[in-house]
Amino acid sequence: MVERITAMLALIGVLSLLCQWLGWKLRVPAILPLLLCGLLLGPGVGLLDPDALFGYLLFPIISLGVAVILFEGALTLNFNEIKDYGRMVTHLVTLGMLITWGCISLATRIFLEFDWSLALLFGALVVVTGPTVIVPMLRSVRPHSQLAGILRWEGIVIDPIGAMLAVLVFEFISVSNNQTTHLLTALGSMLGLGIGLGVLSGYGIGWVLRRDLLPHYLKNTAVLTVMLGTFVGSNLLQEESGLLTVTVMGIWLANMRGVDIESILEFKETLTVLLISALFILLAARLDSNAMLDLGWGGLAVLLVAMLIARPLCVWVSGIGTSLGAREKWFLSWVAPRGIVAAAVSSLFAIKLEARQVPGADNLVPLVFLIIIGTVVIQSLTAGRWARMLNVRAGSAQGLLIFGASSFARDLAKLLLARNIRVVLSDTNWNNIRLARMDNIPVYFGNPASEHAETYLDLTGIGRVLVMSPYKQLNPLVSFHFQDYYGRNKVFGLNNMEPGSARHQASEAYMKRLCLFGEGVSYAKMASLMAKGAIIKSTNLRDNFTLSDFKQRYGDTVLPLVYLKNDKLFVVTGTEQLPQSGIELLSLIPLEAQQCAKEQQEKLQQESERAQQTDVDQARAEDREGQMPAG
């Protein structure tokens, strides 16, 4: 038996990795291959039976996994960031969420005749979308940046808020099924303990982190351990209060001043990917295919209400008072796939409700999975065509992601942004990011190849990546990551490789991409030129002032960077020839070249002035000759 459990755990781990890779490779939400894998292993061939395999351990495994997922989601709920993304996102995750909840709950009550408490719980479970299903869909559909931002941030923000709503409804059901006259008192104690202990524990761990009372290598482990301990302790003090406690704890920690949670987020997200993958396979394997079929036309009617009534009504009401047009609202009305939070939380609640013999609890999970399968499959297949029909797809991606926010990168970004070219700067150096923010340049603080960046780095409108950082260990990682995403001909880097053994260790394919701005141009060279007074200058090359004239004026030390032609951006590399005219060229002009050009201009001006003076003198002489009396 022990060998079987060990083998199944290893199999689940391997299949989780394979499903995540398939999702990334096919540009579809990983939830689809995970779902198919779980259905195949469970109801399909009967190889995986989670209840028989784990027995009494299944509930603690799912319970702790859901706690980690909700806590990680709550850590992303920064109230300042909600304000940055406009009124529409705020409306969608508040008023819109309540509209969706009401519509789906009513439909469940009418078409499936669920008890009102169970219908309200189901409605609360499926209000969440989630970045794990939204982000892959946006990458394949490529809507306008505003629409992509709205959908992405709605998915990020609504995860913890929707989960909190579901927890509150479940707690109400749990208390109401307890035959006691103290219903409100019991529910109030759950809310009081959940919110109070969540705030207290969030503040406590934040206080410890803010004062650096823990060594760096223990911070992530400490936060995870304290969170799990708080979850268990809250449930011991008041049954069913743990999920609310960890959600409030994460929200408080995310909004606490002076607490750096970036490394915690990255650690939690890596753990969450593993948990999501394993949990979803286990949860899908527990599904009874007959139970889903037994939902019949009533289940299909609930799905249609969620997609065709609840979502459009949510979007159009939330859009009142915003700048969104009808086409944008119709697009948003169609895209709202449900994800792992709904599946995980519903399975956890179903186990608890079935243990209490709540009527209809066995239909909760099949109905949630029906909504997940229906929304993800249908919307993934049709969202691209819908976007083209509404003409809301972004055009050719001309934007740049620049890894390395040095003074050179910031100056280049400002010039490109002024020409309506989207630029995002990424760096792990906070001071560089701070200076870029002061210049109103879009930034991402952290490693752009990380799991955190997969969700939170907005790549809408980005078509190429320039690796211009001094971090020699990170540069190859970023390059290979985005080569897989955009293609090798869309990722370029500065040649920071030192001669010797390191050069021979680098792959030939990687070395070929180190040709940004020309062969042999390194970060050290660019930084040195900027420190010595080099500037980035825009020059219009025309028939009367060609590239040859430009080089004659500034000399061979000038470095062409990028150029614009017919509203398209081209990056200068060591593998192409620049057009002679008809472009706007951005180039780095060293101080010596500036002085040389200045001396040439002064010389030309002096020659022009001498020529003009000669013409004036000649004209005066001719006038005097004309005024002399005849002999």
| pLDDT score of 622 more than 80 | no
The predicted model gives 395-400 an average pLDDT of 77
The confidence score (pLDDT) of residue 403 equals 93
| pLDDT score of 501 more than 50 | no
Can you spell out the DSSP letters for 171-187?
Answer: HHHHHHTS--S-HHHHH
343-371: pLDDT as tens digits: 778 887 888 887 777 788 888 888 988 89
The predicted model gives 593-615 an average pLDDT of 69
205 contacts 226 by C-beta, under 8 angstroms: yes
| Core vs surface per residue 438-452: b (16+ CB within 10 A) or e | eeebbbbbbbbbbbb
The confidence score (pLDDT) of residue 504 equals 46
Q: Specify the 3-state DSSP secondary structure of 347.
A: helix
* Cα 308 from Cα 300, distance rounded (Å): 12
**What is the 3-class SS of 398-428, one letter each residue?**
CEEEEECCCHHHHHHHHHHHHCCCCEEEEEC
* Cα 159 from Cα 76, distance rounded (Å): 9
| pLDDT score of 332 more than 90 | yes
In sequence order, the 6+-apart residues with CB closer than 8 A to the CB of 118 are 108, 173, 353, 358, 359, 360, 361, 364
DSSP state of 145: H
The predicted model gives 196-214 an average pLDDT of 89
78-120: pLDDT as tens digits: 776 666 556 888 899 889 999 999 999 999 999 998 889 899 9
* Cα 484 from Cα 490, distance rounded (Å): 10
Can you spell out the DSSP letters for 14-35?
Answer: HHHHHHHHHHHHHTS-THHHHH
* Cα 221 from Cα 227, distance rounded (Å): 10
Look over the chain and give the mean of its residue pLDDT values, rounded to a whole number: 81
The confidence score (pLDDT) of residue 304 equals 94
Among 470, 453, 471, which Cα is nearest to 462's? 453
75 contacts 261 by C-beta, under 8 angstroms: yes
What's the first-to-final CA gap in the chain, in angstroms?
Answer: 133
* Cα 520 from Cα 587, distance rounded (Å): 16
pTM metric for this prediction: 0.69
Structure tokens belonging to residue 64: 């702790």
* Cα 64 from Cα 91, distance rounded (Å): 31
546-580: pLDDT as tens digits: 888 888 787 778 888 888 888 788 888 876 678 88
C-alpha pair distances (Å), 420 with each of 154, 417, 433: 26, 5, 21
Local confidence band at 123 (pLDDT 50, 70, 90 cut-offs):
very high
Local confidence band at 513 (pLDDT 50, 70, 90 cut-offs):
low
Local confidence band at 602 (pLDDT 50, 70, 90 cut-offs):
low
The predicted model gives 142-152 an average pLDDT of 81
| pLDDT score of 598 more than 80 | no
| pLDDT score of 328 more than 80 | yes
| pLDDT score of 604 more than 80 | no
345 contacts 166 by C-beta, under 8 angstroms: yes
